[in-house]
Structure 1
């Protein structure tokens, strides 16, 4: 996927790895039926789990990964697996659903192949049982790309009853229920530290008396364990009921971290129910040492007596959250009749958006927790400001949001905004969609467009052309060679129908892109060019999908169809900060060029005089991106700081033959296939080109430096003299080199290492001159009568006889 600076969506890492059948130990489930050993022709999910436990074939499943201490991977197909009873893994396993992608389409967020689609694989208990139970085995369970649906339990855990770690990613837990605790998950951490890690997962429609989404065992955790619960980039929505006492129920001695999630429209009892319940009680033990952190979450429109219910236990950190617009109180203190005045406890609330005034949705926090002497804990007060002013309505799951319901912040460009709140740090590194939050960029030309943290789970994108201060030219020859290699590989791949056809559309597009790059890079070739893709440096703007102002948004793809590109040359010097702004200090330079080529889709930067060192400073130009959409005036400019380098010359291997006719003297010129093409073409230089290879002060070309001569070989040359620079003590050669074999009867090959110097004295890679002796192949038979056989022929016959003799006994 393409990696934007403020964003890109690194949500789903897709790798295409070819495994030989003998090496692939994945257990492939090939039936949707819930079989248990009765059909040896099919491998069911239940049988695969038992196979992993026993490390031997079972039912219709192969043995899987039998290596000691290694977990098993179980692969499911697209479709629904209906269970007869709960699954009880007793060994470390990872179960993967069918990858939820469409290879023929581009993703609307990344504008890259493949597109993310709905989950394709379901495991359903149809309301008859739990789905997974690892309470007794305490084994590690991994689940990815799977929707767990309609689990049901009269005890703990409607979908999952866990005694061991859980890794749940890119999945869903839907419509599961427990008559007691943990509608989706109930967690018992025994004896050792255990962790639940949930990422990019939708948890919706679950219910329980306590912990409609998650509950945990309280007593065991207080002994010597610290269960860890981490929920990241997920949506917890529409869980619970008016009779539920809590949604996320925290007890024991856990570490709980919530980051970049949407927690919304969940329900608990309006008199004594809470969405996040973290209070010590007689039958609900909570350690004074537990840790709770929540940052960059959107926690709104929940309906309960309180949304975050806390007491004087633990260490609590709240930052960059929207914790408001909830029925009941958004934050409620459980002690002192809810009076938080003068309460001192280890709680810090920084850069949140809260309703601090009395009324519906109020968040009660101790004053000392929300302010300090340097005002760095500043929180935004949303009292009197409607949700519709700062957020969109809850967006339904769709391709525009990774199928995770979420809210988008609104950029009103005023003090009510939750977007780009200022020069502060601490928000989540990525937003709920996987967009990277870049908050430390310095925009010299557009300082007011600097990206800073947004409050909540979503980072609102806007067009930003970032600055780059250290651009350098790379080898032109290597660039051309790489383009050609990519073209050859893609053509070969597309020509073979046996290759993975999933990627055919992407491969066709990539082939066209590389062909254009090769064609136009050659067409616009310059000396020591720097090629810049302005779209790779920039951040896209976010735009509404339709005219509905409350509808979903998408990132407007960075390409020539959506944006115009222009450039400006400043010259040679430096950008200096003055009074909070940057200005260029230097001089114009007519030899410095910075040109946008639309067909190449690159900015080309070069010099007409070919200079490498710019003593007066660095070269500078800028690029500007402008939206070409009607009604959109988005524009942004970035600075490009430039320096040029001399590229090393390129030495290539040479092979010559020593034959009887050569009279043991070989004359070679290794420069015939060597070059200085790394610097590009010299056609457009407006100064005399000094040549490819090194010449001394008298204008004598001496670019070749030889390594040690092999024994029995001598060298002479048309000319010789000291090498340049730090190699002045060595001898360099020019013109024809003549290698002479001292012994005319020698049958040896000779290898000579050599390097070359370009006109500026830069040394090349090491290459080889191979002298291959053909004389050794001329005496395979001996002269003389009587049909005598030469020594090599005799040895060959002996070898053939031994080979045949051995074959008889194999």
Structure 2
């Protein structure tokens, strides 16, 4: 018999089958450059083929069809290619070790994970480039890698026919005999996005770092180039015409990056155009579309050895914002070409070399009405005569623990760049290192981070600053102490470390807990003090008790704020254990001190928070009713609690011996004052427990409470409900009922907040055992049920004439 599967079921089965599939992670386990000859090891070259072919190759597992696979390389490993370039023919990710410590905070960003130096390296084969995707136009996605060397005519390290995505990729020592020392983009699908990456020591006659094809199918090649938090330093030579050469119809966006000490002085490539580090100009055969655009935001472009640092003409839009574009060998920027009324430029909050009063002393000659007209706007800044780069910036170096070279502002002698640039809303929220912009200016309720001015350039100097924190709130004590480690994808060593950290945190949390406390990570949005040493600096976390002392304080005697160094959190609470009155907030303040220098912030920070009542916790209950039994007591509150607010013994009410559940308060004698007595005694006051609200009643029996009355939230807008209290008894309506029963309830705390709904299950033993009553010839319910079944069966047979 052939069974047909309905279309809905078939669709479900297909969806389940598809849902089970996922992208493959192919782990490379050898640094040797093998190509199928060793089935016992998986090399990088073999992993790329296994992903492309979607089948096992060499010692590598197969890639997953229709998915983007990940090829995972090891930490502290160098993969030296010996068999030529690596051809990318399908979409895949090639990842080095993540180079992070997930259990530590980054000293620059203040967030986890902490970034570590990239330790996975790929070295080019002798006389060959590293990656080539020209034929397939497939994406090249690289993460956490060092690429060293590479030689070719186009693209010494990467020849791309499709998109190139780089995250924490450092390309060094690549050379091209024609164009694109590091990367050459060919065709309209070729684009590049680089983040937190560096390019150094690369060279080519044209485009020591980047170059590209200009035309495609008789039209301009349209592409994007996006560089964010990138260092481009020490590239090019006297034989190179430019460092980055843009043509076709590119959209170029470079932000929070350092471009320095590059050399571009060769005029033989195009004698009609001056060499430049950044070049977006037409020149031969009108190679640049008038629709091209370039945006430079918060970059440091200095100490480049070239006639012009930035040369451009005919772009559809040029935008320069918050750049330190000064102290290059000659001109910082220049319009090259004939006047064009369609040219559109926006130039604000940049520091240029020279004077703002005359075009002859201004090093940035931007086109307006004629090629020789200088663009001077009120918002730009100009270095006065006799000053040099050393008046404004520390030397090129690694600052704050970053692995990207940059120039740090000098805090004392640079009033033209410290807090003198564009607003954070326009200059970028973080600097090249990931440090929050606006350091040194305290954020408060009226001054947001978007309204603070940045330091001019790629790096922000970190000044000890504590910022206001708003909207703190208490969370459930039970939820916090129930935290566990998500072990998915972790090694045993990582699991052990995470468990140790959580245990340390929870031990401190329990030991220091105050009733309804608010826990706040107030230092996460603060800035530490940058400490200089030569051309490097260090940044320490404010949460590091060896480096900083955090001191909270409050002017309200009912507010207690303390710093818990093990938890690295500020703890706030109301001493009387009450909640924050509606419509208001509680506040305290804190300051910080650098233990090494004694430095403190200019102003303390204000912390605002709200203490709320957390709903009580009701848990399910199970009881057994012996068959034939009339009633059983129910102690359903025994496993319930109000521990969301914290252990009740820590609350002022708990210390006074009062119960945590809702009690109906009534005056015994209305003629006498309705007051509580001292020392916990009661004078003319009666408290009746009415703390249980039954949501759904049982069906086989009845709940008989010791006390009952109207629920406290009854009003004219709600249906009248009855609440119970005291001892509850479940009364069985039928002694011989063989069925189980159940009901649901909520418990009310003293603040009249209802808990979750819990289920009470009453299991009748008639459903779990064959109960037989002894004496009097009685028989059990199971036997009776069996006899009734035989009677019914006989009746059916008789009805059919059998």
Q: TM-score range by the shorter chain?
A: 0.7 to 0.9
Query: How far apart, in 2, do the equivalents of 1:241 and 1:621 lie?
Result: 59
Length, aligned pairs only = 721
Q: Offset of 1:228 from its aligned partner? A: 0.9
From 153, 169, 172, the equivalent of 2:170 is: 172
In structure 2, the residue matched to 1:574 is none
**Is the contact between residue 424 and residue 449 of structure 2 (CA under 8 Å) also seen in structure 1?**
no
Structure-to-structure mapping, 1:415-430, within 5 angstroms: 415-419=415-419, 421=421, 425-430=425-430
Paired residues of 1:349 and 1:379 also in contact (CA < 8 A): no
- Partner residue of 1:218 out of 214, 217, 220: 214
Q: Of the candidates 526, 529, 534, which is equivalent to residue 541 of structure 1?
A: 529
Change (3 A) 1:732 1:180: same
- Decide which of 288, 311, 314 is 2:313's aligned counterpart: 311
Find the counterpart in structure 2 of residue 512 from structure 1. Answer: 504
User: In the aligned structure 1, how far is the partner of 2:741 from the partner of 2:642?
Assistant: 27
Tell me if structure 1 keeps the 8 A contact 2:266–2:275: yes
CA distance in 2, matches of 1:227, 1:239: 23
| Cα offset, 1:543, TM superposition | 1.6
Relative to structure 1, is the Cα distance of residues 505 and 702 closer, same or farther in structure 2, using a 3 angstrom cutoff? closer
Give the deviation of 1:412 after TM superposition: 1.4
Q: Secondary structure of the residue that 2:205 maps to in structure 1?
A: strand
Structure 2 counterpart of 1:443: 444
Give a deviation string over 1:315-374, Cα, whole Å, max 9, x none: 1111111111111211011125xxx9x9873111111111143789922124799566xx
Partner Cα distance (2:248, 2:461) in 1: 37
Q: What is aligned with 1:632?
A: 599
Question: Pairwise mapping of residues 360-371 of structure 1 onto structure 2 (< 5 A)?
Answer: 362-366=363-367
Give the C-alpha shift of residue 435 in structure 1: 2.2
How far off is 1:666 after superposition? Answer: 2.0
The Cα shift of 1:634 comes to 4.5
Q: 1:64-213 residue pairs with structure 2 within 5 A?
A: 64-65=63-64, 67-68=65-66, 70-77=67-74, 78-101=77-100, 109=108, 116-153=115-152, 155-190=153-188, 193-213=189-209
Contact 1:461 1:555 (8 Å CA) reproduced: no
Quick one: structure 1 residues 565 and 722, their matched pair in 2 at CA, closer, same or farther if it must change by over 3 Å?
same
Change (3 A) 1:43 1:332: same
Q: Summarize the Cα distance change of 1:114–1:503 in structure 2 as closer, same or farther, 3 Å threshold.
A: farther
Q: Deviations over 1:40-89 (max 9, x none)?
A: 33333222222222222223322222x22x22222223123223212221
The whole-number CA distance in structure 2 between the counterparts of 1:160 and 1:473 is 53
Deviates more, 1:604-613 or 1:440-449: 440-449
Deviation at 1:458, TM superposition (A): 1.3
Distance 1:650 1:640 in 2: 29
Distance (whole Å) between structure 1 residues aligned to residue 258 and residue 760 of structure 2: 66
Q: What do residues 723-761 of structure 1 show as CA deviations (whole Å, max 9, x unaligned)?
A: 112456111111122222323233332221100122232
The SS at the match of 1:52 is helix
- The structure-2 alpha-carbon separation of the partners of 1:371 and 1:762, relative to structure 1 and needing over 3 Å to count, comes to farther
Higher deviation after alignment, 140-149 or 355-364: 355-364
The residue aligned with 1:669 is: 635
State which structure, 1 or 2, has the greater radius of gyration over its C-alpha atoms. 2
Q: Deviations over 1:161-187 (max 9, x none)?
A: 111111111111111111111111110
Task: Give the corresponding residue for 1:405.
Answer: 405
2:550 paired residue number: 565
Partners in 2 of 1:79 and 1:63 — Cα distance?
Answer: 24
Q: 1:646 aligns with which of 606, 609, 613?
A: 613
Which residue of 1 is the match for residue 454 of structure 2? 453
Tell me what 2:694 maps to.
706
Unaligned runs of 5+ in 2: 1-19, 268-273, 667-686, 787-802
Checking the alignment, whether the CA contact within 8 Å between 2:180 and 2:211 is kept in structure 1 is: yes
Please identify, of 723-732 and 605-614, the stretch whose mean Cα deviation from structure 2 is larger: 605-614
Q: CA deviation at 1:616?
A: 9.0
Q: Describe the SS at the equivalent of 2:707.
A: strand
Aligned twin of 2:11: none
Alignment deviations for residues 105-159 of structure 1 (CA, whole Å, 9 cap, x no partner): 9866468887644432222224411211111110111111222222111x21111
Whether 1:748 aligns to 2:748 is no
Q: For residues 45 and 54 of structure 1, what CA distance do their matches in structure 2 show? A: 14
TM-score, with structure 2 as normaliser: 0.81
Other-structure match for 1:295: 297
1:554 equivalent among 539, 564, 589: 539
Tell whether the 8 Å contact from 1:443 to 1:450 is kept in structure 2 after alignment: no
Provide the TM-score with structure 1 as the length reference.
0.80
- Per the alignment, residue 385 of structure 1 pairs with 387
Separation in structure 2 between the aligned mates of residue 97 and residue 745 of structure 1, nearest angstrom:
71
Is the Cα contact below 8 Å between 2:108 and 2:539 reproduced in 1?
Answer: yes
How much has 1:660 moved relative to structure 2? 3.8
Q: How does 1:209-288 map to 2 (within 5 A)?
A: 209-220=205-216, 223=219, 225-269=221-265, 272-283=274-285, 285-288=287-290
Tell me the equivalent position of 1:803: none
Note if contact 2:173-2:203 (Cα within 8 Å) is conserved in structure 1.
Answer: yes
Distance (Å, rounded) in 2 between the aligned partners of 1:289 and 1:508: 58
The 8 Å contact of residues 505 and 566 in structure 2, kept in 1 or not, is answered as: no
Single out whichever of 105-114 and 155-164 deviates more from structure 2: 105-114
- Report the secondary structure of 1:388's partner residue: helix
Q: 1:714 to 1:456 in 2, by over 3 A?
A: same
Partner of residue 517, structure 2: 529
Using the TM superposition, give the Cα deviation of residue 695 of structure 1 relative to its aligned residue in structure 2, in angstroms.
2.7
Q: Does the 8 Å contact 1:444/1:638 carry over to 2?
A: no
Distance in 2 of aligned mates of 1:404 and 1:683: 51
Secondary structure of residue in 2 paired with 1:535: helix
Summarize deviations over 1:550-569 as a string: whole Å, max 9, x none: 43333454332222233332
| 2:470 equivalent in structure 1 | 469
1:622 aligned partner: 589
Look up the SS of the partner of 1:641 in the other structure.
strand
Hey, what does 2:758 align to over in structure 1? 767
From the superposition, tell whether residues 506 and 646 of structure 1 become closer, same or farther in structure 2 (CA, over 3 Å): closer
Conservation of the 8 A alpha-carbon contact between 1:150 and 1:177: yes
How large is the Cα RMSD of the aligned pairs?
3.7
Structure 1 residues 382 and 766 mapped into 2: Cα distance closer, same or farther (>3 Å)?
A: farther
Cα distance, 1:284 vs. partner? 5.3
Return closer, same or farther for 1:103/1:695 CA change in 2, 3 Å cut-off: closer
Gaps of 5+ in 1: 1-20, 572-589, 795-810
Question: Given the superposition, is the C-alpha separation of residues 629 and 367 from structure 1 closer, same or farther in structure 2, using an over 3 Å criterion?
Answer: farther
CA distance 1:447–1:411, change in 2 (3 Å): farther
Give the SS at the match of 2:708: strand
Query: Contact 1:244 / 1:268 at 8 angstroms: preserved in 2?
Result: yes
Alpha-carbon distance in structure 1 between the residues aligned to 2:616 and 2:162: 59
* Residues 418, 364 of structure 1: alpha-carbon distance in 2 compared, 3 angstrom cutoff: farther
Q: 1:71 to 1:350 in 2, by over 3 A?
A: same
Q: Deviations over 1:250-296 (max 9, x none)?
A: 00011111111111100011663210110112245111111111111
